């Protein structure tokens, strides 16, 4: 859609035949970021590239905002619905005006809904950002999930699936994002109910580069006997003799994230204690190291 198309839509609006918004050029200083924008991470290099493009070519896609009247302010003020990076670039370049679609009568809640709807149509999306935004929307507006799904043009099942991954801990989320796992990986992990066990499974998925199908198969096997994996696979370096008599290589589990390693140790100790083996574990920080001592009574 070109600027000329938008101007025509504005004329249609004035004639009573158009959409519930108008096209305008506004000063960037009058536009305020959306505090509830689903997208929280804006990569610096991507913003730099966009700024350079706007410097040479201008803003080709209008921003979207609503007139900000919630607090009774009567001056020219707008709350952004879509276009956070374009707004930041415009302010960095000190542009005198920016092209914008302005919703005159959109209340705060409707602006929130439009922001969610627009962002679900964009890629890539941090898989936890949308879930967090949906959760905030439901709690803030007091909707039942079915009502929220209807207003956001989603099915109740789709909404439930999107929000399910919020059951993962902050540590698990950060590791998943850091290693580029998918939403389906995250949902598969939720089948492992104990957080400590999940961290062990998560480490295995990362180290072995499992795809979604391999992840689901591994979790099936793990859940059949988690103690076997935690103790024998995670901590035993015992060599099993091979049929040809040669010593096989030692199987090792490598932990690149110390959080995974410490949590796995904790869960393994708990499992051994639950089986009746007298085990004592102590953990303390020593300078820039963590000392973990495990003592097992002789039988």
Residue 211 has pLDDT above 90, yes or no: yes
Instruction: Examine residue 126 and state whether it is found in any structural domain, yes or no.
Output: no
Q: Residues 173, 285: one domain?
A: yes
Q: Burial, 111: exposed, middle or buried (Cβ in 10 Å; 0-12, 13-18, 19+)? A: buried
Instruction: Examine residue 122 and state whether it is found in any structural domain, yes or no.
Output: no
Instruction: Examine residue 155 and state whether it is found in any structural domain, yes or no.
Output: no
**Final residue in a domain of this structure, among 108, 123, 141:** 108
Q: Residues 102, 180: one domain?
A: no
Instruction: Examine residue 54 and state whether it is found in any structural domain, yes or no.
Output: yes
Label residue 276 left, alpha or beta by phi (over 0 means left) and psi (-120 to 50 means alpha). left
pTM to 2 decimal places: 0.47
Instruction: Examine residue 69 and state whether it is found in any structural domain, yes or no.
Output: yes
The tally of domains found in the chain comes to 2
Q: Residues 92, 201: one domain?
A: no
Residue appearing with tokens 């991954």: 165
Q: What is the pLDDT of residues 136-182, one digit of tens each?
A: 888 888 889 898 888 887 888 988 988 999 999 888 888 898 888 98
Q: What is the CATH number of the domain that holds 81?
A: 3.90.1530.10
Q: 203 is in which domain, residue-wise?
A: 168-296
Query: Cβ of 88: how many Cβ atoms within 10 Å?
Result: 16
Q: What is the pLDDT of residues 253-294, one digit of tens each?
A: 444 556 666 766 776 777 677 767 788 888 887 777 788 888
Q: What is the pLDDT of residues 239-257, one digit of tens each?
A: 445 555 555 444 444 445 5
Q: Residues 205, 281: one domain?
A: yes
Q: Residues 177, 83: one domain?
A: no
Instruction: Examine residue 103 and state whether it is found in any structural domain, yes or no.
Output: yes
Average pLDDT for 113-132: 70
C-alpha 277/C-alpha 16 separation (Å) is 80
Q: Residues 200, 268: one domain?
A: yes
Q: Residues 100, 192: one domain?
A: no
**Final residue in a domain of this structure, among 108, 137, 160:** 108
Instruction: Examine residue 128 and state whether it is found in any structural domain, yes or no.
Output: no
Q: Residues 172, 291: one domain?
A: yes
**1: CB partners within 8 A, 6+ apart:** none
**Final residue in a domain of this structure, among 60, 93, 108:** 108
Query: What one-character-per-residue DSSP string does the chain give?
Result: --HHHHHHHHHHHHTT-S-SEEEEEE-GGGEE--TT-S-----HHHHHHHHHHHHHH---S-EEEEE--TT---SS-EEEEE-HHHHHHHHHTT-S-EEEEEESS--HHHHHHHHHHHHHTSSS--HHHHHHHHHHHHHHHT--HHHHHHHTT--HHHHHHHHHGGGS-HHHHHHHHHTT--HHHHHHHTTS-SHHHHHHHHHHHHHHT--HHHHHHHHHHHHH-HHHIIIIIHH--PPPPPTTSPPPPPP----SSHHHHHHHHHHHHHHHHHTT--EEEEEEEETTEEEEEEEE---
C-alpha 167/C-alpha 164 separation (Å) is 6
Residue 43 has pLDDT above 70, yes or no: no
Q: Residues 283, 178: one domain?
A: yes
The bridge status of strand 289-296 relative to strand 98-103 is unpaired
Instruction: Examine residue 59 and state whether it is found in any structural domain, yes or no.
Output: yes
């Amino acid at each position: 859609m070109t600027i000329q198309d938008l101007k025509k839509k504005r004329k249609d609006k004035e004639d009573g035949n158009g959409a519930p918004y108008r096209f305008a050029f506004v000063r960037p200083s009058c536009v305020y970021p959306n505090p509830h924008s689903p997208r929280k991470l804006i990569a610096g290099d991507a913003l730099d590239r966009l700024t350079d493009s706007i410097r040479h070519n201008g803003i080709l896609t209008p921003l979207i905002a609503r007139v900000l009247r919630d607090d009774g302010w009567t001056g020219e003020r707008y709350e952004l619905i879509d276009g956070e990076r374009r707004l930041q670039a415009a302010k960095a370049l000190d542009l005198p005006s920016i092209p914008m679609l302005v919703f005159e009568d959109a209340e705060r809640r409707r602006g929130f809904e439009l922001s969610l709807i627009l962002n679900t149509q964009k890629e890539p999306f941090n898989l936890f950002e949308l879930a967090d935004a949906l959760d905030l929307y439901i709690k803030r507006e007091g909707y039942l999930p079915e009502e929220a799904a209807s207003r956001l043009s989603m099915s109740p099942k789709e909404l439930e699936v999107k929000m399910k991954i919020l059951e993962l801990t902050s540590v698990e989320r950060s590791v998943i994002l850091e290693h580029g796992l998918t939403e389906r990986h995250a949902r598969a992990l939720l089948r492992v109910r104990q957080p400590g066990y999940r961290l062990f499974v998560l480490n295995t998925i990362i180290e072995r580069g499992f795809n979604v199908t391999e992840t689901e198969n591994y979790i099936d096997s793990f859940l059949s006997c988690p103690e076997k994996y935690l103790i024998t696979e995670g901590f035993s370096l015992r060599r099993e003799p091979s049929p040809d008599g040669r010593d096989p290589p030692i199987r090792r589990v490598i932990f690149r994230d110390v959080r995974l390693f410490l949590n796995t140790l904790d869960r393994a100790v708990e499992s051994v204690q639950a089986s009746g083996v007298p085990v004592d574990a102590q953990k303390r920080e020593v300078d820039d190291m963590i000392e973990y001592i495990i003592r097992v009574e002789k039988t």
